[in-house]
């Protein structure tokens, strides 16, 4: 007689390196490209080491979430798999990894997906990276019941955090803060003339953020016209003016963003005063993102001129970062709620075989008893008796099944309930597949 | 005005977070003043026409009437400066606030200390 065994408790392991556990040099050694991830997943899942696996690799973390196929597989094995795949044995040690099991792994994955574990707190890029990692794993058929549910639950956590908390609110980069400030002065950026002085990385970032906020009337000026043209193509504008000429046309612009490095002052307060006179003192926002500063600081005293430099904008980013930190308790509550829901879902996986056995047992008794009377009744009467028996079974099983599926159970209480039910109804044989 | 000063002084506090942008606030106050000015002018004209019939002892040096003329002048000059000289931003906000404070004071003070509706005597 086959002996029934409990299905295993949540068999999920997470190992990885991230900005909490390892410096950037080591994280770089373990960074996986999309192709690397596919190759790795094919290796570990085809080799029957793992029944499910998902590998998340970003600039700040490389984390493997896995459901082992064998009980003997420990986090150390998974760490070795990652190290060996990247041939980083000489540089990366097991000590640089974190290891998490079951609910710990689930909780960590939720925190990663919603940005609460990110180096830049609340950044939203990570959710896209988690989705990409899930897509890769699904395409390689490396995900199953547990990881599919885990990923969808994580997406739900991220959505709740975005809508119910302010963890992702406010600018935390200087270029984005510049655009936020512009939106605090002007109501509609699409109607404003914007001048971008410089065509470097900072100018490009600011331009991209402006485009996201519907700014279309962007003009670029740069010492090297080729760079200005390249940036203009990127952001989809054709307005370029020569660097020597932009001061004469300064009065045309409502927002001026200057991001020229290692040049020093390129616009004097007198030039701005003349421009303000020409534009009848209409407000002008000047954002000086250059180091050293490109705009004469004394221009900030001119009426209706809002001149802000990098230090001023950093005040905004620091304030926003502090506001995000204050949201962490709310995020922790959401993660906890979703973690409980995930655990309850996982518990229902354990009761499924017992429910199937219970239904099979009752069905067998029904068939056995009906068989005894089959020859004594007409086919119509037999059909009626069968229907009656089905209704009785359904009603009898309703309470035991709903008790087993009760969401208030934890792993311990559910096991005692399963024991009791199997004992009372003498359920012996079972398939323990989940 | 408060938001203007906060942005100028790099104090990005609660007002910065909660209030709409400066341009919207200015548009809102300008619309309110324009509409209010039209109604005030209408009330002023109808009042001047009606008061001599209803108040026997009425005189054009009536304190409430002078207060009203002052308020009307403040808002009228503000709108004129806006249209003709392009005044805007904090300067306009100061004038509008002045007009509001003056009308508030003239209403409360005159109503508190006047025994009759249209006289301080």
Tell me if A283 and B86 make a contact (CB, 8 A cut-off). Answer: no
Residue B100: which residues within 8 A CB-CB, separation 6 or more? none
According to the model, what pLDDT value does residue B3 have? 79
Q: A145-164 and A102-114 are packed helices; what angle lies between their axes, rounded to 10 degrees?
A: 40
Q: State the DSSP string of A149-196.
A: HHHHHHHHHHHHHHHHS-TT-S--SHHHHHHHHHHHH-S-GGGS-EEE
Report CA-CA distances (Å) from B41 to A72, B34, B56, B111. Answer: 89, 11, 24, 21
- Taking the Cβ of residue A346 and every Cβ of chain B, the question of whether any pair is shorter than 8 Å is answered with no
- Taking the Cβ of residue A48 and every Cβ of chain B, the question of whether any pair is shorter than 8 Å is answered with no
Average pLDDT score over residue span A384-390: 93
Number of neighbouring beta carbons within 10 Å of residue A67: 22
Residue A383 token pair: 């059909």
pLDDT tens per residue across span A286-331: 988 887 888 888 888 888 888 988 888 888 888 888 888 998 999 9
Burial class (CB in 10 A: 0-12, 13-18, 19+), A210: buried
pLDDT tens per residue across span A179-206: 888 888 888 888 889 999 988 888 888 8
Contacts of residue A303 in chain B, CB cutoff 8 Å? 89-91
Contacts of residue A300 in chain B, CB cutoff 8 Å? 8
pLDDT(B120) > 60: no
Indicate if A59 belongs to the active site: yes
- What is the ipTM score, two decimals? 0.71
Determine phi and psi for B114, rounding to 5 degrees: -95, 125
- Taking the Cβ of residue A181 and every Cβ of chain B, the question of whether any pair is shorter than 8 Å is answered with yes
Rounded Cα gap, residues A266 and A250, in angstroms:
12
- Taking the Cβ of residue A283 and every Cβ of chain B, the question of whether any pair is shorter than 8 Å is answered with yes
Cα angle at A147 between A144 and A151, to 5 degrees? Answer: 130
Closest-CA residue to B87 (of B38, B41, B33): B33
Closest-CA residue to A182 (of A268, A256, A291): A256
Q: Which residue has the tokens 């007198």?
A: A270
Minimal-distance CA residue of chain A relative to B16:
A184
| % of chain A at pLDDT higher than 90 | 23
Contacts of residue A188 in chain B, CB cutoff 8 Å? 23
Q: Could you tell me if A55 and A31 are in contact, meaning their C-beta atoms sit under 8 angstroms apart?
A: no
Tell me if A312 and B22 make a contact (CB, 8 A cut-off). Answer: no
How near does any CA of chain A get to the CA of B53, in Å? 48
How near does any CA of chain B get to the CA of A139, in Å? 44
According to the model, what pLDDT value does residue A433 have? 39
Cα angle at A225 between A221 and A228, to 5 degrees? Answer: 55
Q: How many CB pairs under 8 A join A and B?
A: 46
- Taking the Cβ of residue A316 and every Cβ of chain B, the question of whether any pair is shorter than 8 Å is answered with yes
């Amino acid at each position: 007689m086959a002996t029934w065994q409990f299905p295993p408790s949540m068999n999920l392991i997470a190992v990885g390196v991230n900005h909490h556990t390892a410096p950037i040099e080591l994280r770089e050694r373990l960074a996986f490209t999309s192709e690397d991830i596919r190759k790795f997943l094919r290796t570990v899942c085809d080799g029957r080491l793992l029944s499910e696996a998902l590998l998340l690799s970003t600039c700040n973390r490389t984390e493997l979430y896995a459901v082992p196929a064998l009980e003997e597989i420990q986090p150390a094995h998974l760490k070795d798999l990652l190290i060996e795949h990247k041939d980083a044995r000489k540089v990366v040690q097991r000590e640089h990894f974190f290891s998490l099991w079951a609910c710990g792994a689930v909780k960590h994955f939720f925190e990663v997906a919603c940005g609460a574990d990110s180096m830049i707190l609340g950044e939203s890029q990570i959710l896209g990276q988690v989705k990409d990692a899930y897509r890769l794993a699904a395409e390689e058929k490396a995900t199953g019941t547990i990881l599919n549910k885990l990923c969808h639950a994580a997406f739900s956590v991220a959505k709740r955090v975005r809508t119910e908390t302010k963890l992702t609110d406010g600018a935390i980069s200087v270029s984005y803060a510049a655009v936020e400030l512009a939106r605090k002065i002007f109501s509609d950026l699409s109607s404003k003339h914007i001048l971008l002085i410089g065509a470097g990385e900072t100018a490009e970032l600011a331009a991209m953020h402006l485009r996201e906020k519907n700014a279309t009337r962007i003009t670029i000026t740069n010492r090297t016209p080729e760079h200005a043209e390249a940036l203009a193509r990127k952001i989809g504008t054709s307005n370029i003016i020569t660097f020597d000429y932009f001061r004469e046309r300064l009065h045309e612009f409502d927002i001026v963003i200057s991001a020229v490095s290692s040049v020093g002052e390129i616009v004097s307060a007198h030039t701005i005063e003349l421009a303000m006179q020409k534009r009848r003192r209409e407000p002008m926002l000047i954002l000086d993102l250059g180091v050293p500063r490109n705009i004469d600081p004394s221009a900030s005293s001119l009426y209706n001129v809002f001149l802000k430099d990098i230090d001023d904008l950093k005040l905004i980013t620091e304030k926003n970062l502090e506001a995000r930190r204050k949201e962490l308790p709310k995020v922790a509550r959401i993660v906890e709620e979703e973690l409980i829901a995930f655990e309850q879902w996982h518990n229902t996986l354990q009761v499924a075989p017992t429910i199937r056995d219970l239904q099979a047992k009752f069905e067998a008794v029904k068939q056995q008893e009906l068989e005894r009377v089959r020859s004594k009744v007409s086919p119509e009467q037999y059909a009626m008796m069968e229907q009656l028996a089905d209704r009785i079974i359904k009603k009898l099983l309703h309470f035991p099944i709903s008790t087993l599926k009760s969401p208030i159970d934890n792993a311990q209480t559910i096991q005692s309930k399963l024991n009791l039910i199997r004992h009372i109804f003498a359920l012996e044989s079972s398939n323990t597949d989940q | 005005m408060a938001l203007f000063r906060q942005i100028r002084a790099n104090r990005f506090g609660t007002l910065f977070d909660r209030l709409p942008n400066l341009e919207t606030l200015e548009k809102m106050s300008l619309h309110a003043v324009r509409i209010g000015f039209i109604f005030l002018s209408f009330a002023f004209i109808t009042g001047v026409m009606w008061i001599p019939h209803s108040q026997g002892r009425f005189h054009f040096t009536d304190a409430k009437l002078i207060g009203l003329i002052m308020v009307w002048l403040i808002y009228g000059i503000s709108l004129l400066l806006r249209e003709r000289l392009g005044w805007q931003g904090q300067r306009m906000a100061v004038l509008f606030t002045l007009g509001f404070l003056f009308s508030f004071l003239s209403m409360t003070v005159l109503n508190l200390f006047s025994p009759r509706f249209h006289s301080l005597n």
